[in-house]
A and B are shown apart, each in its own frame.
Chain A
């Protein structure tokens, strides 16, 4: 199946080909590597739902033509 992933912090998108056994973590890693990002600093959502890293594509309910969004998880200090 193919999904579109939007990078919320750049507005860019990638189209990704997936298998039902792929994990959410692999999706994050694939997209992060494409945008030269540290995958540990991001989460991914489908609509209002946070997708859990160890779940498979099938378990997460990801379907063909879905749009997912990569969101940074920032940390501030003083």
Chain B
């Protein structure tokens, strides 16, 4: 297999330079693994009633995205740290990909980020910050895959903008890739995936490890819910 590059040609004594060529390849092996058990799962405290209904429905069918308590805390704190300035934040979701009962799912164990070029409506990694990002990636103690990315929409709500969809289609195009959006002002969070070229919400659970305190501690305040006619308000 020959990849594109400079077409080397021996002209006038100039030595031929062959473009790089790919001689072997290997795809990710998705392993079978039982997902975190229901007793160590909870929906995010910032979900509204509609999102909570979607969560309950998806939980019965098998969730496709699990976010560790640690990753959740880091994403939330990152977004909250720029809440007053109304600046967006962004980072990678680091995790693993597994399969259980014909459902492919991802576990986000941690996140990685660096200094950013951000406004209230745009964000990207600062050019000079990429090597710090690499250091952050190297501090993980597992063989990570970038199973998606997160960014914030301070005060704008959770959705994928045209720029976000473009990023998702160009880079995170596997069915298991997710885009997580957090709004620290409205206390809202959602994950999305691309399906048939459209962004669809992907319900996700927070999980915690066996010997950790549960996610439902005092550090995450519940989103305020005005009334609860369906009995679907976020658990306390």
Pick the contact of B170 from A19, A38, A76 — CB < 8 Å?
A38
User: Within residues 1 to 56 of chain B, which ones have a CB less than 8 A from any CB in chain A?
Assistant: 1, 3-6, 17-28
Please name all residues of chain B whose beta carbon is closer than 8 Å to the beta carbon of A10 when the two chains form the complex. Answer: 27-28, 145, 174
Please name all residues of chain B whose beta carbon is closer than 8 Å to the beta carbon of A29 when the two chains form the complex. Answer: 3-5
- Contact size range, B: 35 or more
Contact A75-B124, Cβ < 8 Å, known A11-B97, A41-B171: yes
> Could you mark each residue 137-178 of chain B with 1 if its beta carbon is under 8 Å from any beta carbon of chain A, else 0?
110000111100101010010000111101100111010010
Judging by beta carbons under 8 Å apart, are A21 and B17 in contact? yes
B70 within 8 A of A: no
Please name all residues of chain B whose beta carbon is closer than 8 Å to the beta carbon of A76 when the two chains form the complex. Answer: 88, 90, 122-124, 149, 151, 161, 163-164, 167
Contact residues of B: prevailing secondary structure: mixed
User: Within residues 38 to 68 of chain A, which ones have a CB less than 8 A from any CB in chain B?
Assistant: 38, 41, 43, 45, 47-50
Chain B, Cβ-Cβ closest to A13 = B26
Contact A72-B171, Cβ < 8 Å, known A15-B23, A16-B22, A33-B3: yes
B125 within 8 A of A: yes
B120 within 8 A of A: yes
Shortest C-beta distance, A29 to chain B (Å), equals 6
Contact A19-B28, Cβ < 8 Å, known A26-B6, A72-B146, A76-B163: no
18 new A-B contacts at CB < 8 Å, known A13-B25, A13-B26, A77-B162: A9-B172, A15-B23, A19-B17, A19-B18, A22-B5, A22-B19, A30-B4, A30-B19, A47-B134, A50-B134, A74-B125, A74-B172, A75-B124, A75-B163, A76-B90, A76-B122, A76-B161, A76-B167
